[in-house]
Structure 1
């Protein structure tokens, strides 16, 4: 067994497990490692290599975003192996669920140890809305849950900016409303004006071209777009 286990190694086994139950699953949505949806039910799962206070605090905080929150750890996690009954008792009292992943050479096996059954705090409607909007508008599942959050993520916002930059890369310049109509992007003008990634350059009033930075960075992001795991 490879000792250099990463949090993101837990993602695909759990994603497969949930997909078999009919859930749609995506990673790294609004800083949540894994978000799954089925009908009106939303599940958040936080992935960690060991059980610690940081993970528990994080999971309890996620209860403001979804009714059902789990933490997932490797089955061989030391504290879980040594104090299984106490861990189960604590998890249950916190109102969160526990999933363990048995990481074997032959395959990974997912086991739900505890399902949440009580303690539902008030929801943060604004943050919940942000999470669900990002989930529904992001194309595919390009980011493994548990991967390095400090690296740039292919969010729904970035995906839409990429489409605008792609269109501009083939023209000397264009107006926002022309791009809006050409690629069916209602917020094209807003993306150009805000220029969050520095990919666009204002030529004249309402007229933009792609910047040098945009030309340099666009190919890498287009490759990532084309590799979306649907």
Structure 2
């Protein structure tokens, strides 16, 4: 059995709160469910699935009380579900509680997953450092927000383009010369990884440009024309000048 209407969620949530000693009534001044116990006021907004409208309703109800819950039917496989984890994290960030209403056969039950306690999540330091390092290494702003028409021009791709342009000028060349000509300190790593298939090793420590590299120089001609001078350096959290973000 699954919830067919928002009203299917009402009775399980009502029973849950009544078992906790609350008096419960539905549809009070626009609120789906209102529960009162002494001086305590709880407001619950009901939706079959978690969506933006539900979040906006919950935030609006915070003007009435700090004890606001969102009640939804969780996904069948909530454990390990990344989106469901994000839902709970969002509720925590906003100070909203979360109630799961589950249907088994002809029975329905509700349980509190989160109480509405405002919490500031700890900063993800490694991800923050990686973000700032990538920002610092990029030579310009070449990716309008929401870009999907061509691959993103990351700091790694800029370095690879510098190496490709150098090999186009010089022909097969040793890593030491390529590093000197381009100023790309991680030249050896980029050439060895050959993530884009632009480079071919012709001898120990000697590389040449592949047809794919020639095509890339044409596709990113505007970027190559603007990549004058050595790249900015910024230590990456991986210890390789940030080989991530390709």
Q: TM-score under structure 1 normalisation?
A: 0.48
Larger radius of gyration: 2
Q: Flag the structure with more relative contact order, 1 or 2, with Cα contacts below 8 A and sequence separation at least 6.
A: 1
